[in-house]
A and B are shown apart, each in its own frame.
Chain A
Amino acid sequence: MELLKRSFFGGKAAKIQFFAIIIAIVVLFFVPNFGSAYLPLFLAWVITYAVMSLAWTLFSGKTGYVSLASAAFYGTGMYVQAALGSNLPIVVSMIIAAAASFGVAFGIGLVTLRLRGVYFTIFTFGLSLFLNKFIHWYEVKFFHTKGHMVLAYDNLTVYYCVLVVFAIFLLVVIPMNKSRFGLALDCIGQNEDSAQHVGVNTTMTKVLAFAVSAAPVGAVGAAMATTIGYVDPDIAFKLLASFMPVLMAIFGGTHSVYGPIVGAIVFYSLQDYLLRELPGAYMIIFGCVMVAVILLMPKGIFGVIDTIIARRKRGFDGEVIGDV
């Protein structure tokens, strides 16, 4: 309770942030009434990527363990929807998808989070590949098909589903960042050895954060599967879904919840535009943008803005005026 107060009402900035989020969500709730028929689907994708990018930031942005497992969690959600979607209301199957992704991440975390640095990254990358191949084998062996049909829902329903996931996730992540748990994650990112030696249970903290970050990704995966109508391993576990959230988070910056959201808006819009206008050159242009972002803005767009503000605060002889 005290934590909630501190997160949302402690200080002016927190209050502004809280009301900004509430207003944004209310606006997002009514937006589809005003746009084209395509708008809800477009926004659903933007929100899906925002959730994935936020989830990535929650774990990897804080701990420095770069995960490429987003596709694995997303695909798990899609497959849960394919398996259960025709028998259960979408809300229920989404909750089950979230739980399934949570479980996969928890198990994988227990095994791999003792690995450090690049080994962890490679393992999570392999996880998506493995799930792809494993499910492929499983489908062929037991169903003699590749892929499954998914019961379709209208775009507006799907939009509201992912919006709810987004809202819940935001309202969980912000207090979490301010909690002891968030602090422990920060410590792990800055010096894991030191954190462990002053009593932070680093293994459990990492595993839990990894699992918590996987749950909403599974949920949006389930929702979005219904807009495609069909999933197969290559769709569900496509590797781009592991890289996009990282790119969006790096572009936006990982030090606030806004960074990944801005990254998702910019990059999904860009992707959408390129796919429609220049489908042939899409991958090339997109790849160049990725490289440029990583080279030029390692601290993200908000980092760039901070630097500019800091520069303007400096006096003529480079002396720092005020707190930078």
Chain B
Amino acid sequence: MSDLNEILLEEEAAADCGCDEKSTFVPDADAVIVGTNLTKRFGGMTAVDCVDFELREGEILGLIGPNGAGKSTLFNLVSGFLPIDVGTITFNGVKISGLNPDRICHLGLGRTFQAAKNFPDMNIFDNIRIGALFGIKGKSYEQADIETEEIIKFVGLEKYLKMAVPDLPLAIQKQLEVARALATKPTVIMLDELMAGLNPAEVDEAMALVRKIRSGGITVLMIEHVMKAIMAICDRIIVLHHGRLIAEGTPDEIANNPEVIEIYLGGEA
């Protein structure tokens, strides 16, 4: 009874979210994250507008779009950082919209922020160890230490261990965040502009890291402006523009999509 009510309420909400029609989105069978009808407004501005999307098991999915398109906001909705106005998100079939970020983390979702959020007064080791200690309940300190060592090697942070976190180059601060997210042992990781501001050699390293993460069995959803990287490593790409999902496809399809070319070239000309 209350379920029915909830569905009715959701339909009503969907009706007044301004979406053209009720979502008829049917996700793929191997989708791990499914977002339906996602809408988020800030005041009068709709940052994410009736978005349906899915993340499939084992893939690297790229999320692109011009500045202010709503990409980071979409991440914030998925990780529980911001409440959703309309729509639902499921993770491995479990509804996660409405849960707090710590619960979502415990279900196996890791993320990074566009502007890295680290613990400034802790050293690098502890920054990562926090992820190991709290990401999975009841882990022993010894086990957390072992896993932290492994992740430091995996991400390649050995040579920075002695530095204070605020003194790290920005690229490394972002990698530290990736390391902490990995320490929570996620099955899905969301990376927000890991490669922004890197030089070409560093971009290559970051690409190798993302590939390595996926080889380790973790599904990746990444926001990126560096086209070369996106085109090279993504299996699939989705494009946001003014909060709306305007294209979805393989890198080749996206590169040849007239609408995508229009918003990128049109905007930057």
Is chain A's interface secondary structure helix, strand, loop, or mixed overall? helix
Per-residue B-contact encoding for A179-197, CB less than 8 Å = 1, 0 else: 0100110110011011111
How far in angstroms is the closest Cβ of chain B from A13?
Answer: 18
Q: Which of the 9-residue segments A66-74, A99-107, A200-208, A246-254 touches chain B?
A: A200-208
Query: Would you call B106 and A194 a contact (CB within 8 A)?
Result: no
Residues of chain A with a CB closer than 8 A to B118's CB? 191, 194
Query: Would you call A198 and B100 a contact (CB within 8 A)?
Result: no
Complex-state Cα separation, A202 to B102, whole angstroms: 8
User: Closest residue of chain B to A193, judged by CB?
Assistant: B117
Residues of chain B with a CB closer than 8 A to A194's CB? 113, 117-119, 177, 180
Asked if A318 is at the interface (CB within 8 A of a chain B CB), the reply is no
Asked if B122 is at the interface (CB within 8 A of a chain A CB), the reply is yes
Known: A190-B122, A193-B81, A203-B100. A198 touches B130 (CB 8 A): yes
Complex-state Cα separation, A184 to B105, whole angstroms: 15
Query: Would you call A197 and B122 a contact (CB within 8 A)?
Result: no
Asked if B251 is at the interface (CB within 8 A of a chain A CB), the reply is no
Asked if A199 is at the interface (CB within 8 A of a chain B CB), the reply is yes
Query: Would you call A180 and B133 a contact (CB within 8 A)?
Result: yes
How far in angstroms is the closest Cβ of chain A from B86?
Answer: 22
Query: Would you call A190 and B120 a contact (CB within 8 A)?
Result: yes
Report which of A183, A190, A193, A201 forms a contact with B121, defined as CB distance below 8 A: A190
Known: A187-B130, A203-B100. A198 touches B120 (CB 8 A): no
Q: How large is the interface on A (under 10, 10 to 19, 20 to 34, 35 or more residues)?
A: 10 to 19
Query: Would you call B102 and A191 a contact (CB within 8 A)?
Result: no
User: Closest residue of chain B to A191, judged by CB?
Assistant: B117
Residues of chain B with a CB closer than 8 A to A187's CB? 119, 130, 134
Per-residue B-contact encoding for A62-104, CB less than 8 Å = 1, 0 else: 0000000000000000000000000000000000000000000
Complex-state Cα separation, A196 to B119, whole angstroms: 12
Residues of chain B with a CB closer than 8 A to A186's CB? 119, 121-122
Known: A180-B133, A183-B130, A187-B130. A199 touches B105 (CB 8 A): yes
Residues of chain A with a CB closer than 8 A to B136's CB? 199
How far in angstroms is the closest Cβ of chain B from A324?
Answer: 11
Asked if B184 is at the interface (CB within 8 A of a chain A CB), the reply is yes
Residues of chain A with a CB closer than 8 A to B81's CB? 193, 196-197
Question: Which B125-149 residues sit within 8 Å CB-CB of chain A?
Answer: 130-131, 133-137
Query: Would you call B120 and A191 a contact (CB within 8 A)?
Result: yes
Query: Would you call A190 and B119 a contact (CB within 8 A)?
Result: yes
Asked if B77 is at the interface (CB within 8 A of a chain A CB), the reply is no
Query: Would you call B122 and A196 a contact (CB within 8 A)?
Result: no
Residues of chain A with a CB closer than 8 A to B111's CB? 197
Query: Would you call A200 and B102 a contact (CB within 8 A)?
Result: yes
Question: Which A2-31 residues sit within 8 Å CB-CB of chain B?
Answer: none
Query: Would you call B122 and A198 a contact (CB within 8 A)?
Result: no
Residues of chain B with a CB closer than 8 A to A190's CB? 119-122
Residues of chain B with a CB closer than 8 A to A183's CB? 130, 133
How far in angstroms is the closest Cβ of chain A from B115?
Answer: 10
Report which of A184, A191, A193, A203 forms a contact with B134, defined as CB distance below 8 A: A184
A selection of 24 A-B contacts at a CB cut-off of 8 Å is A180-B134, A184-B134, A187-B119, A187-B134, A191-B119, A191-B120, A193-B81, A193-B101, A193-B117, A195-B119, A196-B81, A196-B105, A197-B102, A197-B111, A197-B117, A198-B105, A198-B110, A198-B134, A198-B135, A198-B181, A199-B105, A199-B106, A201-B100, A202-B102
Residues of B within 8 A of A (CB): 79, 81, 100-102, 105-106, 110-111, 113, 117-122, 130-131, 133-137, 177, 180-181, 183-184
Q: Which 10 residue pairs of A and B lie closest in terms of their CB atoms, listed nearest first?
A: A199-B134, A194-B117, A190-B119, A199-B105, A198-B131, A196-B101, A199-B135, A197-B101, A201-B102, A200-B134
